[in-house]
Structure 1
């Protein structure tokens, strides 16, 4: 356990929230960024989780978040880049703007936060400091309906290699690439069965597998520059 907090971007819901709450259970202070106010954020605050609003859709919003983060803490044990926008491709006049938004959320925000918050990680005082990029299974496979999303996640996966080399040996930089982990509200049984059939394991595992993967990276001093697939053997199909 470190006295320096762990930052999780996009930590107000789903996988980010699960990991934030599990880290608190394990005794770690946590800061999360969130895009919109949600009822569950109040419950997180009641547990001592610091919540900072953030708009990663513009460079100005990213830089504003970094400034407020530095006003909140003088050190970080780890940064988990979980903020994401699962947006389908658009084919109208807004297609370029939509691509640029995904680029900023998935690539520019991690890039600038890593560069400008390196000093916070170095000030941690712990023997291990980590950056973890949450990418996606489709970063390597591509996607018929989410090409911009897949491309920007692939860019984030490549940034993992660059920052791992740049920040070694003081800071470890790795990625986690999930496939289906949780169902969305409104997904019916037919969708669930089709989704499960895409992987060799044939299951919807739940967010605990992501926390296990994150915990492995946070606890292992000899791993950097890797992408850890958490896809149930989907590549075997």
Structure 2
């Protein structure tokens, strides 16, 4: 096998959550381009149907699934769709998640726990559902999308930062639980210039963030997709339990303020 042959997902089957837009969409497209059959899942069905249309137009195979990862029945239905459509599961990308800034004196405990549920518990639950099928397939790979916020100390991020820090540690621990047949890694993106962010970000804010980033530019979704592809393919066969920081070199938050 040549070195470039290691960067392939031919004959693999991947579930990508939050695949309708942004980072999740870019990862789904990258996996399909590398040869994987992709289950594109998100809460908004029309979004993932558009991604699937792009994959099929490029000659790939994909299926769209409406799934709220907070809902057990919908998680199970997504996994079942993957099995019925493509026969097996070899990759899981836990990309769905997120939360906005919070005031720790105003956010209720219940709201805090919901952030943990969305970002951490859903990833844990999906690993439970998918790993047995990965064992049946002979090997597998789990990729969690965490965040630079997991290690930055900054105000108003006690909920989101704590949740992503928990997801990072869950990644390390599950890697030991599932080794050697299944690898578990994560990517911690810095600020990524998604289409949605680009539309609402003031020019002066973008300029300040770029100035605060050692690479002097913000990340693009393809930067994360490229790292996700490496971590999914045989090129990274000896990498597990790692958090890959794709953040332009930032060692603290680049948000102005």
TM-score, normalised relative to structure 1: 0.89
Aligned residue among 76, 79, 84 for 2:97? 84
Aligned CA distance change for structure 1 residues 91 and 141 (closer, same or farther; 3 Å): closer
Give, in whole Å, the separation in 1 of the partners of 2:107 and 2:169. Answer: 26
The residue number in structure 2 matching 1:157 is: 168
**Residues 102, 152 of structure 1: 8 Å contact kept:** yes
Give, in whole Å, the separation in 2 of the partners of 1:193 and 1:229. Answer: 22
Aligned residue among 200, 209, 219 for 1:205? 219
TM-score, normalised relative to structure 2: 0.82
Matched, 1:68 2:82: no
**Residues 56, 104 of structure 1: 8 Å contact kept:** no
**Residues 89, 95 of structure 1: 8 Å contact kept:** no
For the aligned residue pairs, the C-alpha RMSD in angstroms reads 2.0
* 1:174 aligned counterpart, secondary structure: strand
Give, in whole Å, the separation in 2 of the partners of 1:170 and 1:198. Answer: 40
Q: Offset at 1:56? A: 3.0
Alignment of 1:146-185 (within 5 A): 146-183=157-194, 184=197, 185=199
The residue number in structure 2 matching 1:104 is: 117
- Give unmatched runs, 5+ long, in structure 1: none
- Give unmatched runs, 5+ long, in structure 2: 1-8
The residue number in structure 2 matching 1:45 is: 52
**Residues 7, 76 of structure 1: 8 Å contact kept:** yes
The residue number in structure 2 matching 1:36 is: 44
Matched, 1:232 2:248: yes
Runs of 4+ in 1 over 6 A off after TM superposition: none
* 2:16 aligned counterpart, secondary structure: strand
Aligned residue among 237, 241, 247 for 1:221? 237
Matched, 1:142 2:153: yes
Report how many residues are paired.
Answer: 230
